[in-house]
Amino acid sequence: MTTTTTSLAEEILELKKERRAVILAHHYQESEIQELADVIGDSLELSRKAQQYDGDVIAFCGVWFMAETAKILNPDRTVIVPDKDAGCSLVDSCPVEQVRAFKHRYPDHVVVAYINTSAAVKAESDIICTSRNAVQVVQSIPADKPILFLPDINLGNYVKKETGRENIRIWQGACIVHATFAARKLTQARAEHPNALVAAHPECPPDVLKMADYIGSTSGIIDWCVTHSHDEFIVMTESGVQHSLHRRAPGKKFYFVHNENCNCSECPYMKRNSLEKLRDCLQTLEPRMELSREIMERARRPIDAMLALK
């Protein structure tokens, strides 16, 4: 850490105490943010942990839909975010009006929404899922019920394949980071590192997933690489997971494949957050998540339906 980073970190820890705040950080956050967090996790863990912590304020370092979920689960607490423009391409691909139009046309479908959706879309859904439990959530729905799975096409196709379910319609949304990982680049990486195993997030395209030795959520990928007897891995997800990988398995080697959008494997939305913005939001309690009681109550039902699955 540089001197500026150290003093910023001290300021943040001081403010955190004053505000009685808990800092939650997704695995895709910059390392210096992860180092200050009370909890680092994938979207399912962060939703659960948000409820288990005491304190008046939740400072959510991730993207907007994750902070919305934290607010829905903690309606009486103040939820703040470092940057309100930290969005998600999957959320943008799924406007609530289109979901309502679909429901109107196909009222018999059970709506399974990935957690990467807006609160308004969650309010229209029957059950939420994350990359960690999507297969389990779909399996919990009676086999004769048709399903609308939204909004990630790659996760939807993966779930369809894993469950062998035919009566599932899949939205056409995609993650700008994972959907642009190319199989040809993974093939190249495997040629360069012939002893490495491949771990991939299910938002990757099917030809990438076909080459994976393990498919799972961000925490799933980290746990699998850390506990596996092997010591070299090609990791097909956002490079922020390096923080936990190197901390928990310092002797192992991890290789990241660049996606087609940039010479990196970073989510531009997640990377909008910074230590300065985290300090500022703890100081001013802005930007603050505000949702109507009605939306929170309606969106909570499908989240609780997911959390009730063990």
**Pairing of the two strands 39-41 and 21-26:** parallel
Give the interface with ligand SF4 as residue ranges (CB under 6 A): 63, 88-90, 116, 175-177, 203, 238, 267, 269-270
Question: Are the C-beta atoms of residues 35 and 29 closer than 8 Å to each other?
Answer: no
Beta strands in the chain (DSSP E): 21-26, 39-41, 57-61, 78-80, 110-114, 127-129, 147-150, 168-170, 197-200, 214-215, 232-236, 253-256
Minimum Å distance from CB 116 to ligand 13P? Answer: 5
Nearer to ligand 13P, 116 or 259 (CB): 116
Residue 29 touches which of ligand 13P, ligand SF4, none (CB < 5 to 8 A by kind)? none
43 binds, among ligand 13P, ligand SF4, none (CB under 5 to 8 A by kind): ligand 13P
Find the length of the chain: 310
Q: Which does 42 bind (CB under 5 to 8 A by kind): ligand SF4, ligand 13P, none?
A: ligand 13P
Nearer to ligand SF4, 33 or 267 (CB): 267
Partner from ligand SF4, ligand 13P, none contacting 123, C-beta within 5 to 8 A by type: none
- CA–CA gap between residue 109 and residue 33 (Å, rounded): 41
Parallel, antiparallel, or unpaired for β 127-129 and 168-170?
unpaired
Contact partner at residue 130 from ligand SF4, ligand 13P, none, CB < 5 to 8 Å by partner kind? ligand 13P
Coil, strand or helix at 36: coil
Asked if 265 is part of the footprint of ligand 13P (rule: CB under 6 A), the reply reads no
Q: CB of 177: closest distance to ligand SF4 in angstroms?
A: 4
Q: Take residue 61 and report the two structure tokens written for it.
A: 């370092």
From the list ligand SF4, ligand 13P, none, pick the one residue 269 interacts with, judged by a Cβ distance below 5 to 8 Å according to partner type. ligand SF4
Cα 152 off chain centre by: 12
Residue 178 CA to residue 5 CA, distance in Å, equals 30
User: In the range 213-232, which residues lie near ligand 13P by CB under 6 A?
Assistant: 217-218
Instruction: Indicate the DSSP class of residue 203.
Output: T
**In angstroms, rounded to a whole number, what is the distance separating the alpha carbons of residues 21 and 58?**
6
Task: Kindly state the number of chain residues that form the binding site for ligand 13P, as judged by CB under 6 A.
Answer: 9
**175 is a site residue for ligand 13P (CB under 6 A):** yes
Member of 47, 131, 239, 259 binding ligand 13P (CB under 6 A)? 131
Taking CB under 6 A as the criterion, which residues in 3-62 touch ligand 13P?
42-43
Q: Does 117 bind ligand 13P (CB under 6 A)?
A: no
> What is the dihedral angle through the alpha carbons of 96, 135, 63, 293, rounded to the nearest 10 degrees?
50
149 in Cβ contact with 186 (< 8 Å)? no
Q: Which residues share a beta bridge with 173?
A: 152
Q: Which is nearer to ligand SF4, 109 or 205 (CB)?
A: 205
Q: Cα separation of 151 and 117, whole Å?
A: 7
Between 15 and 219, CB nearer to ligand SF4:
219
Choose which of 34, 116, 117, 259 interacts with ligand 13P (CB under 6 A). 116
- Comparison of 63 and 123: residue with beta carbon closer to ligand SF4: 63
| Contacting residues toward ligand 13P, per CB under 6 A | 42-43, 116, 130-131, 175, 203, 217-218
